Amino acid sequence: DIQMTQSPSSLSASVGDRVTITCRASQGIRNDLDWYQQKPGKAPKRLIYAASSLQSGVPSRFSGSGSGTEFTLTISSLQPEDFATYYCLQHDIYRWTFGQGTKVEIK
Amino acid sequence: QITLKESGPTLVKPTQTLTLTCTISGFSLSTDGVGVAWIRQPPGKALEWLAVIYWNDDKRYGPSLKSRLTISKDTSKNQVVLTMTNMDPVDTGTYYCALDSPVDDFWGQGTLVTVSS
């Protein structure tokens, strides 16, 4: 089964900072990777699908890149509403695996 | 408008079987390509994928809980049902159902299940 290693597990950043989160897959998954944002008490919300496609309605400061085994979520200029936990999700061959999450906190 | 809503018991005892239902509106479970997944989240911990079922009745399970899970669908009621046997306090958490779609993003609000005697 495919394992996803997400890093860092947490980070502190200021409004306006550029933030990068990485997920590595234990084997190649083409571009079958999504990124989610979750706020406390809420269901996850998808930001990016197919590694680099922006979900409808999501601000353009969010972007995704990568293919194969290494993927990146970038927030170009962190906004107050972006403080949350972020997860990657691989869904290769009808099996899903989430990363362990990255909590983005206010510095 | 597509919505998914989880329902089931909020409290189960250890060793009991949990049955959760995901009721879907706005799309049909018999539509080609449609899949519905179950995901759970223990308090303060990460998301964990449990299972997915597709329009053609193809079913897949997460490796760690595969022996305890059964996923099924009732197309006439547009519902997906997940059963989990031999519940333990470590299974406490919020259980979500979600649409498996390459473009759309729809999740239920989640239902909190507590396992305690």
pLDDT digits (tens, 9 = 90+) for B38-94: 999 999 999 999 999 999 999 999 989 999 999 999 999 999 999 999 999 999 999
C-alpha span between A37 and A48 (Å, rounded): 10
Q: Report the amino acid identity of residue B5.
A: K
C-alpha span between A47 and A97 (Å, rounded): 17
Q: Which candidate, B100, B71, B101, B99, places its Cα nearest to that of B84?
A: B71
- Distance (Å) of CA A82 to CA A36, A104, B13, B48, B53: 12, 8, 38, 22, 32
Which of A 76-105 lie inside 8 A of B, CB atoms?
87, 89, 91, 94-101
Provide the shortest C-alpha distance from residue B95 to chain A (in Å): 10
Give the pLDDT of residue A53. Answer: 97
Residues 6+ apart with CB under 8 A from B11: B113, B114, B115, B116
C-alpha span between B47 and A76 (Å, rounded): 25
Query: DSSP class of residue B90?
Result: G
Residues lower than pLDDT 50 in chain A:
none
Q: Is the pLDDT of residue B104 over 90?
A: no
Chain A residues in contact with B33 by the CB 8 A cut-off are: none
Give the pLDDT of residue A12. Answer: 97
